[in-house]
Amino acid sequence: MKYKVLLIGSGGREHALAWAISKSPKLEKLYIAPGNPGTAACGENVDLNTSDFEVVWEFIQENHINLTVVGPEQPLVDGIANFLETKGHLVFGPKLQAAMLEGSKEFAKEFMQRHNIPTAAYRVFDQDNFDGAAEYIKEQNKYPVVLKADGLAGGKGVFIPESEAEAMEVLDELRNNDSLKDAASRLVIEEFMVGEEASVFAISDGDSWKVIGNAQDHKRIGEGDTGLNTGGMGAYSPAPVVTDEILRRVEEEIIEPTISGMREEGNPYAGILYCGLMITAEGPKVVEYNCRFGDPECQVILPRMKTDLLDVIIACTHGKLGKTEIQFDDDVRCTVVLASGGYPESYEKGKEITGLDEVENAIVFHAGTKEVDGKIYTNGGRVLNIVGSGSDLKSAIENTYAEVKKVHFEKAYYRNDIGAKGLEH
């Protein structure tokens, strides 16, 4: 049977997903809602209001779509998988009860505590008890300390104050900042974990699971991991910090108890499980779970996959992942994000992008771009992902930057040190 697939999302992650799905011999037609100029080359972009699930369902029926793949977290946390499954439609992505592993940090922490999954020690406070939170921070008197808004905050809900004075400022900010008030109706205070960050990605049908890769993201805007947090400025896969021994421990101590714990609690986790980890002196610990692929991590993981992604997704939605073999190539992938100067704060849009035709030895995944009369313009903070490969990390980095230098737009910004930490291993 051939599949008509609807992919939801518009970022670099979704271009990578569209690129991988479009190569499948099992694909009849791919729609991407809303997509971007890059995904337009992999299928048909459709302008749907994907936050209105009735609208999505109507489109699915009209176009005889067999399977929906959800890229970003928001529709999952809003219950798109529950809604479409009730209609008898196949969806790849966890239901909202499972997506709560990302949707609520408190839910995730309590779940990890119940199942002895290694993570930072924590306490949770209600917004009307920020005085209690302040007292707790003063009592602990250990800095840095980590303060997290419980709900989805688009990556802007985590604060790591270095002193009591700074921590009190953050509490004030959380109390008064309108854009964070909802997400911060509950506040998680965590012990600061020391180590190197990495992420391991698993795919699960709710019962069986398989690791589909690991990567290291670069979340800060500035070189040497300085400055503001962003959605991610670059990544590489695999990450040497995830040694065979670390991976074995992540599988045994984190992924297996997470999937079996969710199943036992009646909320089977089917979809991509993103384990954001701190590799500490005592071993790997969970920083956060995400209920979807990372962006830009997806852009370096999927190009390594030799097995047909659509085949794997179909097996997953039918509960048959256990019988599926997933293979990867041995090359290392590196991606550098080209961003609009000023991101993650204010930036300009509408700058013409040139040089894309000259990129030969890399894949270009679009994110914040726009096409007008055959020309491509910037249309967001993170604009493009250039993905290069090599037989080792050093050559993957060199090959990627050689291609990055061919692409130009006014006030383009990228980090020059993507992968540098990996070379230290």
- The residues of the shown chain that bind ligand AMP, judged by CB under 6 A, are 120, 146, 148, 158, 190, 192-193, 197, 219, 276, 278, 287-288
Rank residues 83 and 201 by Cβ distance to ligand AMP and give the closer one.
Answer: 201
* Cβ burial, residue 80 (10 Å; 0-12/13-18/19+): buried
Residues 206-235 that bind ligand GLY (CB under 6 A): 217, 231-232
Residues 73 and 102: beta-carbon distance below 8 Å = yes
Rank residues 121 and 372 by Cβ distance to ligand AMP and give the closer one.
Answer: 121
- Is residue 190 close enough to count as binding ligand GLY by CB under 6 A? no
Rank residues 171 and 193 by Cβ distance to ligand GLY and give the closer one.
Answer: 193
Give dist(CA 170, CA 188) in Å, integer: 13
Return the H-helix or E-strand segment holding 98: helix 96-103
Calculate the CA 240 to chain-centre distance.
20
Give dist(CA 146, CA 409) in Å, integer: 37
Which one of the spans 4-12, 253-261, 288-296, 381-389 is the region binding ligand GLY (CB under 6 A)? 288-296
Amino acid at 217: D
Number of chain residues interacting with ligand GLY (CB under 6 A): 7
Radius of gyration of the chain (CA): 21
Give buried/exposed letters for 379-406 (b at 16+ CB in 10 A, else e).
bbbbbbbbbbbbeebeebbebbbebbeb
- The only residue of 22, 24, 216, 290 in contact with ligand GLY, by rule CB under 6 A: 290
- The only residue of 150, 190, 197, 295 in contact with ligand GLY, by rule CB under 6 A: 295
Give buried/exposed letters for 114-146 (b at 16+ CB in 10 A, else e).
ebebbbbebebbebeebeebbeebeeeeeeebb
Amino acid at 172: D
294, interface contact from ligand GLY, ligand AMP, none, CB < 5-8 Å by kind: ligand GLY
Spell out, one character per residue from 69 to 108, where the chain touches ligand GLY: x when CB under 6 A holds, - when not: ----------------------------------------
Q: Taking the complex as a whole, how short is the minimal distance between the CB of residue 287 and ligand AMP, in angstroms? A: 5
User: Quick one: which of 302, 408, 291, 276 has its CA closest to 365?
Assistant: 302
Rank residues 216 and 399 by Cβ distance to ligand GLY and give the closer one.
Answer: 216
Rank residues 198 and 259 by Cβ distance to ligand GLY and give the closer one.
Answer: 198
Rank residues 205 and 288 by Cβ distance to ligand AMP and give the closer one.
Answer: 288
192, interface contact from ligand GLY, ligand AMP, none, CB < 5-8 Å by kind: ligand AMP
